[in-house]
Structure 1
């Protein structure tokens, strides 16, 4: 189980970290909510078609609809709606860096409000991963731009993501399939964003060229479907340990942004990667204490 947890964590981090660069490419051809809503509808239709049409999984019932609405608002409408706005104002690498705030938020929210205990290994891993991320980010912060409002919007989106992760982990989903959960929360989140899209839409600012189509397809398939399915599985195993994989997202994000968008990558990135991997090793080695 531990090896599976590690491999799925790495796959999640790679796919999730690619979202920043993919969004930046899409923003060259379209408004942010055009990208977001198109992505959500494409991904949700595919997931629900497979879940209900091919696998014949059951529909949500009763209070499960309420849970899906709340989770869709937190994890799709608010989080990704704000995220795509922030990406207009910050570099792709800094957008990936924002994911590193989630383990911190999840850890402290769990500790303050849910009674989750923070062990010495938890704290050591947290501090080492945080330090590694900021070491890796140093050349990016020095050479790329980021506006104050862009950073604030990014942090607000990450707070919604962290609250959504904890909310999902604490709900009873019974036997509802994760693909079904992901499909419906994505569809509901996209529907909630439709009024915002219609209000802000400007035809002349959108061109369905290869950059926009490629961005939407990538964000819908590998990210919204692949990465989120991995994330939901990690959350069901251990939400606190799952959150630490978010520290790898900036590392992979820097590499992807360097290759695709030519953002800086050097010795600081290597040092940061080593620190993050060391921090992740500490938390993965932790064993449950037996009475």
Structure 2
């Protein structure tokens, strides 16, 4: 249980720092370019550890495993992250970041349906408190964001929830745990993104996208436009946020329930503004401070509830 909480904390801190890191680049990266690069570098970093883990387990990946990795890479890197990136054309980054954290609630529902994971009443109450905190942070009564953009973010969050639950399902009773799953899904996701980037460079496709004002998706660069000053931030996002962060997230799922691991995205809306305040000197409003308190209280409630459930299960075993 303790190791699972440590993994959740590590993933939360790393994920919450991503928006701050991107802002520090001043928007120099094309969104899909950044996704391709960070997934590629993150996968390469995790590959030696993945191969080592498979050798120790004396396990050879099957065709079914590769198929699952291809599907997972498509679900997350291509669908979820591309939709999330596309949503930024319509809604602010802060609102998109907070709304994306709704995947916590989708994950719990899907895990209950497909993985038969049970969530006790105290955990549900704590999640409601977190949800109230998220609503307070985004202040929906005073939000000036297009409904279309908000809908895209929520769909992106739902798809990520599918990725999380499907990821746990395909790794059950297999040595292809969090690191292997993350590594290979990133490899295939990167390949799929590269294919889309190359397609965007076809003159006919590029001209069509430009005519539809989808400039960010036309003639997408791969390496051009990156200065030496931005490489450190790119490596941080790729190695730590993407590689280490997602490995910690899936290791947390291995150690505990999806509900507990998804606490990562329940805390992120509270931690993100705090990190932005520290590193970007952004001021925290009264609504954000109140919302952060709700999220912290709810998160503590989830941890206590899940820990008590784990103790109860060990006594019954």
TM-score band, normalised by shorter chain: 0.7 to 0.9
- 1:127 Cα deviation from its structure 2 partner: 0.7
Whichever of the two has the greater Rg, that structure is 2
d(CA) in 1 for partners of 2:246 and 2:265?
12
After superposition, the Cα gap between the structure-2 partners of 1:160 and 1:188, relative to the gap in structure 1 and judged at 3 Å, is same
SS in 2 for 1:193: helix
Alpha carbon RMSD of aligned pairs, Å?
3.0
Alpha-carbon distance in 1 for matches of 2:24, 2:150: 19
**SS where residue 76 of structure 1 aligns?**
helix
Which ranges in structure 1 are unaligned for 5 or more consecutive residues?
A: none
Match of 1:283 in 2: 302
Match of 1:235 in 2: 253
Q: Aligned pair in 2 of structure 1 residues 95, 236: CA closer, same or farther (>3 Å)?
A: same
- Matched ranges for 1:5-84 at <5 A: 5-26=4-25, 28-52=27-51, 60-84=61-85
Write the distance in 2 (CA, Å) between the matches of 1:174 and 1:185.
16
- The count of aligned residue pairs is 288
Alignment of structure 1 residues 122-141 onto 2, 5 Å: 122-138=123-139
Matched, 1:153 2:152: yes
**Residue in structure 1 matched with residue 180 of structure 2 by the alignment:** 180
Distance 1:114 1:10, change over 3 A: closer
Runs of 5+ consecutive residues of structure 2 not aligned to the other structure: 201-217
CA distance in 2, matches of 1:115, 1:154: 27
Give the deviation of 1:147 after TM superposition: 4.0
TM-score by length of 1: 0.85
Does the alignment pair 1:209 with 2:231?
no
Deviations 1:237-267 (A, max 9, x none): 2112111231111111112233444544133
TM superposition score normalised by structure 2: 0.79
1:86 maps to 87
Equivalent-residue separation in structure 1 for 2:283 and 2:277 (angstroms): 6
